[in-house]
Amino acid sequence: MPYQQILEDIAREVAPLAGAGKVASYIPELAKVPPGHFGMALITLDGRLYTTGDAHERFSVQSISKVFTLSLVIQHIGERLFERVGKEPSGNPFNSLVQLEYEQGIPRNPFINAGALVVTDELMRHQPDAKAAVLDFVRRLSGTPTIQYDPAVAASERQTGFTNAALANYLKSHRNLYHDVDQVLDAYFHHCSLSMSCVELARSFLFLANHGVLPATGERLLSASQAKRLNAILLSCGFYDEAGEFAFRVGLPGKSGVGGGIAALMPGRWAVAVWSPEINRHGNSVRGMKALELLTTLSGESIF
């Protein structure tokens, strides 16, 4: 079945799931997003684009931005990052302090919030203006110079982000944060506030499906080994405490955000992004997960 038809079938099949989740409410600004949106975009390595629904509308990518920050840090220091952060699935909610305490300030992986704070802190050692660095990187990946942070979302997160402030302070108490707590949080909240469309997100994930090379320019961003390993972390840790469920039902490396977006990829083939703001209690988009499950079923493509 051609991808375009697959996407349209998916859009039809997931429509009845409207209402099965809830728009994220812990950040007031996110709670304003209308729940009904659904968009999906798939781009092949050779540049063919398939879309359905609100694939061109921008939304808050939230934790999906952690993939960009991590890629940049891997560019700078490679696997030395893993002296400061683990790469094991967490088995706990994304903002758990418990795990951090038992593991004495070493976050379990780069995609739980504590891990992403460490990654941000590490990025700041190499790129003091970490906000500009990530924005620039995403614009290059997507070929879209108009991508912006959403200052209202960043400010909203800052005003209510007490759990992240707790994590950052705790990391600091374990000497696993070099910079000032407030500066790290400021960069982190900005990264999360990136506003992108499914098309832009899918395009930004293509280099991970292409063994580290950005297809549009031929530029190598990561070594093949680094790209493979980043994909492994995405598969193991990309979906909070539903990583196993996602591997089981979908079987693709990917990353979700509480804004309702998910970006994923099939190595050697394509990248995909889907957006639907209603999330389940684990923080993952209900229609988004179903859409990707249908994609691998209907296309017969999965890494397993």
Which of 5, 25, 159, 169 is close enough to bind a second copy by CB under 8 A?
Answer: 169
CB of 188 to a second copy, least distance (A): 14
Report the residue from 63, 231, 256, 284 that binds a second copy according to the rule CB under 8 A: 231
Closest C-alpha to 17, from 281, 278, 292, 295: 278
Q: How many residues form the binding site for a second copy (CB under 8 A)?
A: 52
Of the listed pieces 69-77, 100-108, 193-201, 215-223, which binds a second copy according to CB under 8 A? Answer: 100-108
Selected binder of a second copy within 97, 155, 216, 298 (CB under 8 A): 97
Q: Contact region for a second copy (CB under 8 A) — 91-99, 141-149, 150-158, 215-223?
A: 91-99
Q: How far is the CB of 3 from a second copy (least distance, A)?
A: 20
- Of the residues 136, 195, 245, 298, which one makes contact with a second copy according to CB under 8 A: 245
Within a 13 Å sphere around the CA of 208, how many CA atoms are in the beta-carbon half?
29
- Strand arrangement, sheet containing 148-149: 59-60, 194-196, 148-149
Q: Which stretch binds a second copy (CB under 8 A): 6-14, 116-124, 126-134, 241-249?
A: 241-249
Interface with a second copy, residue 244, by CB under 8 A: yes
Piece in contact with a second copy (CB under 8 A), picked from 37-45, 124-132, 212-220, 229-237: 229-237
- Helices in the chain by DSSP H: which ranges? 3-14, 28-31, 65-77, 97-102, 113-126, 130-142, 151-160, 162-173, 181-192, 198-209, 224-237, 243-249, 286-299
- The answer to whether residue 27 forms part of the interface with a second copy (CB under 8 A) is no
CB atoms within 10 A of CB 225: 12
237 near a second copy (CB under 8 A): yes
59-60 vs 254-256, strand pairing mode: unpaired
Which of 67, 100, 221, 295 forms a contact with a second copy (CB under 8 A)?
Answer: 100
Of 1-9, 66-74, 193-201, 245-253, the segment contacting a second copy by CB under 8 A is 245-253
- Segment (H or E) for 23: strand 22-23
d(CA 128, CA 131): 9
Of 252-271, which residues contact a second copy (CB under 8 A)?
253, 267
Nearer Cβ to a second copy (40/227): 227
Distance separating alpha carbons of residues 128 and 229, to the nearest angstrom: 26
Least Cβ distance, residue 266 to a second copy (angstroms):
10
In the three-class reduction of DSSP (H, G, I as helix; E, B as strand; rest coil), residue 167 is classed as helix
Based on the shown chain and the rule CB under 8 A, indicate whether residue 182 belongs to the binding site for a second copy.
no
Task: Choose between 124 and 147: whose C-beta lies nearer to a second copy.
Answer: 124
Give me Rg for the CA atoms of the chain.
18
Which contacts of 96-105 are long-range, i.e. CB under 8 A and separated by 24 or more positions?
97/163, 97/166, 97/167, 97/170, 100/167, 100/170, 100/171, 101/170, 104/174, 105/170, 105/171, 105/173, 105/174, 105/175, 105/176
Cα–Cα distance for residue pair 273/10, rounded to 1 Å: 13
Binding site for a second copy (CB under 8 A): 86-92, 96-102, 108-109, 162-163, 165-170, 172-173, 181, 225, 227-229, 231-233, 235-237, 241-245, 247-249, 251, 253, 267, 297, 302-304
